[in-house]
Amino acid sequence: MVGLLTRYDALVASGELRADPDQRAAAERLAALQAALEADAPAGFLGKFFAKTPSAPRGIYMWGGVGRGKSMLMDLFHDTLALPAKRRVHFHAFMQEVHTAMREVRKGETGDPIPQVAALLAADLKCLAFDEMVVGNSADAMIMSRLFTQLIRDRGVTIVTTSNRPPRDLYKDGLNREHFLPFIALIERELDVVPLNGLTDYRLDRIGGLATWHTPLGDAATAKVREAFFRLTDFAPEDAAHVPSAELSVGGNRTLHVPKSLKGVAVFSFKKLCAEARGAPDYLAIARAYHTVFLVGIPKMGPDNRNEAARFVTLIDALYEHRVKLFATAAAVPEELYQAGDGAFEFERTVSRLNEMQSDEYMALGHGAEG
48-83 residue pLDDT tens? 444 444 567 999 999 987 667 888 899 899 999 999
289 vs 222, more confident: 222
Side-chain-side CA neighbours of residue 295 (13 Å): 26
User: What's the confidence (pLDDT) of residue 60?
Assistant: 97
Say which amino acid occupies 215. T
Summary mean pLDDT of the chain? 86
Residue from 135, 153, 131 nearest 144 by CA: 135
Say which amino acid occupies 261. S
**Please, which pLDDT band fits residue 371 given cuts at 50, 70 and 90?**
very low
Phi and psi torsions of 42, nearest 5°: -65, 135
User: What's the confidence (pLDDT) of residue 206?
Assistant: 63
Identify the top-confidence range among 30-44, 246-260, 341-355.
341-355
Residue from 197, 100, 117, 193 nearest 154 by CA: 117
User: What's the confidence (pLDDT) of residue 45?
Assistant: 44
CA distance 300 to 293: 20
* pLDDT tens readout for residues 263-278: 889 999 999 999 999 9
Average pLDDT score over residue span 291-317: 95
Does the predicted TM-score (pTM) go above 0.85? no
CA distance 88 to 84: 12
pLDDT at 318 over 90: yes
Contacts of residue 48, Cβ cutoff 8 Å, sequence gap at least 6? 42
Residue from 242, 234, 236, 238 nearest 265 by CA: 234
Domains of the chain: 4-195 (3.40.50.300), 202-363 (3.40.50)
pLDDT at 348 over 60: yes
* pLDDT tens readout for residues 169-189: 888 777 778 888 888 999 999
> 294 in helix, strand or coil?
strand
**Please, which pLDDT band fits residue 319 given cuts at 50, 70 and 90?**
very high
Contacts of residue 326, Cβ cutoff 8 Å, sequence gap at least 6? 212, 292, 293, 294, 295, 316, 319, 354, 357
**Please, which pLDDT band fits residue 95 given cuts at 50, 70 and 90?**
confident
- Helix runs in the chain, H state only: 4-14, 21-40, 44-50, 70-80, 91-108, 113-122, 138-149, 181-190, 202-206, 219-233, 270, 280-289, 306-321, 347-356, 360-363
pLDDT at 207 over 70: no
pLDDT at 369 over 70: no
Q: Using an 8 Å Cβ cutoff, are 291 and 322 in contact?
A: no
Share of the chain above pLDDT 70, in %: 89
